[in-house]
Amino acid sequence: MPIYPTADQFAALAKADIEGPVQMLNLLRFKERAEYEDGRETTLSGREAYALYAEQMIPFVAAGGGRLVHSAEAQLLVIGDGALEWDLVGIVEYPSKEAFLDLVQRPEVAEFSVHRSAGLAHQLLVACSATPGLS
C-alpha cells in the first residue's frame, strides 16, 4: 500500500492550479508493529513510530508557516461500504502548495521520516483548497 507519492503525483501537485493556502487531508492506517527499513529491532507499534515522526514534523511545519488544523481518531464508518480502513485523520495547512513541496523535500525531513515509514501501513493524502461559499 502506498505511503509516498509517485513522481507523477508529485509533479501533478506542482502543476496544479491551487492558489493560496493548501490543506492536506491525511488518512492514515498504522502497522500493528513498526518495521524499520534498516532492520533495527523495535518494540514500537506503528502508531508509536508515527508519533515519533509527528513530534518532529509538527514544529517543522510550524516553522515554515504551516499548522496542524485537526487530528482525530477515526471511529466509525457512517457512509460507505466495507470496513473503516483508517486509524487517524489529520488536516495540515501550509501557506501554499510550493511551501508544502519545499518542506517535504528537505533533508531534515528525510532524517526523521524513517519513523513515518516504519509506522504507516497505508496513507491517502488529498490536497484541498478553500471553496468560496462552502467554508
Q: Is 102 part of any domain? A: yes
Cell for 46?
506503528
Q: What is the pTM of this model?
A: 0.89
CB 77 within 8 A of CB 84: yes
- Determine the residue type at 71: S
Tell me which DSSP letter residue 21 carries: -
Q: Is 111 part of any domain? A: yes
Query: Which among 116, 126, 98, 120 is positioned nearest to 55, based on CA atoms?
Result: 116
Q: Is 1 part of any domain? A: no
Sign for the pseudo-dihedral over CA of 119, 105, 9, 23: positive
Q: Is 2 part of any domain? A: no
Backbone angle region of 14, left / alpha / beta, with phi > 0 → left and psi within -120 to 50 → alpha: alpha
Q: Is 135 part of any domain? A: no
Distance CA 96, CA 102 (A): 10
**pLDDT tens for each residue of 5-64:** 888 998 999 999 999 999 999 999 999 999 999 999 999 999 999 999 999 999 999 999
Q: Is 56 part of any domain? A: yes
Q: Is 88 part of any domain? A: yes
Cα–Cα–Cα angle for 115, 116, 119, rounded to 5 degrees: 85
Number of separate domains in the chain:
1
- Strand extents, DSSP E, 9-119: 22-30, 67-73, 88-94
Boundaries of domain holding 57: 7-128
Q: How many residues does the chain have?
A: 135
**pLDDT tens for each residue of 55-108:** 999 999 999 999 999 999 999 999 999 999 999 999 999 999 999 999 989 999
Q: Is 133 part of any domain? A: no
For the domain that residue 102 is a member of, what is the CATH number? Answer: 3.30.70.100
